[in-house]
Amino acid sequence: MSTASPSPAKSAPEPKSPPGPGARRGRPGYDRDSLLEVAVGVFNERGYDGTGMEELARRLGISKSAIYHHVSGKDELLELAVNRALDALFAVLDEERARPGDATSRLERTVRRSVDVLAAELPYVTLLLRVRGNSDVEQRALDRRRDFDHRVAALVAEAAAEGGVRDDIDPGLISRLLFGTVNSLAEWYRPSGALPASAVSAALTAILFDGLRGPRRTGT
């Protein structure tokens, strides 16, 4: 169900140089995906509310009307960006729900694969995590995040019922702590750094899921 394009991880882009004089006749040097990529970088750097269409046009090196050739405005760019992140996260949840096997394994894979999504779609997830609900687009994004949280909490409850996750902590709280840890990666993880995303997701799931199984029978 993901409508996200399959393009690889992207760090916050540098301002592009203006498209060459060859870029004419309705093709202003960007397609919608590459325009979105630059716009999201600018939003993350300056804040969505603090970025005007003038500034966006300047950073893209094109005119405002060239931007309007692709999208109706800033709001549509935000909606495309946050839905790219959300679609990828919901795709993980849907795929893991459809798999056979125990809920605990499906929960663990959901968390691990959400880290992969965060790393692969970092600028889009970062923007999503900063949304505060200041417009209809932002409210819809928050609604989808809440829906995601509820579905993860239901999976945690299922895992607790089968004995794979400790039942002394509320599933909703476990779900918040799990995805709090995942989302906190956006604050410091950079795909261009020395640490591969797979090492981060392996460490994160090892600690959290060993901890979710409950205390060791032999004390420390």
Q: Which is nearer to its own copies, 31 or 143 (CB)?
A: 143
Q: Which is nearer to its own copies, 66 or 111 (CB)?
A: 111
CA-nearest of 101, 197, 92 to 151 is 92
Helices (H), 20-102: 32-46, 53-60, 64-68, 74-98
Minimum Å gap between C-beta 173 and its own copies is: 5
Give the chain's radius of gyration (CA, Å): 20
Q: How far apart are CA 144 and CA 152, in angstroms?
A: 12
Minimum Å gap between C-beta 105 and its own copies is: 10
CA-nearest of 36, 70, 65, 44 to 53 is 65
Cβ proximity of 122 and 11 under 8 Å: yes
Minimum Å gap between C-beta 18 and its own copies is: 27
Minimum Å gap between C-beta 180 and its own copies is: 3
Q: Which is nearer to its own copies, 72 or 184 (CB)?
A: 184
Contact residues for its own copies (CB under 8 A)? 47, 49-50, 104, 163-164, 166, 168-170, 173-174, 176-177, 180-181, 183-185, 187-188, 195, 199-200, 203-204, 206-218, 220
Q: How far apart are CA 117 and CA 7, in angstroms?
A: 12
Q: Which is nearer to its own copies, 8 or 180 (CB)?
A: 180
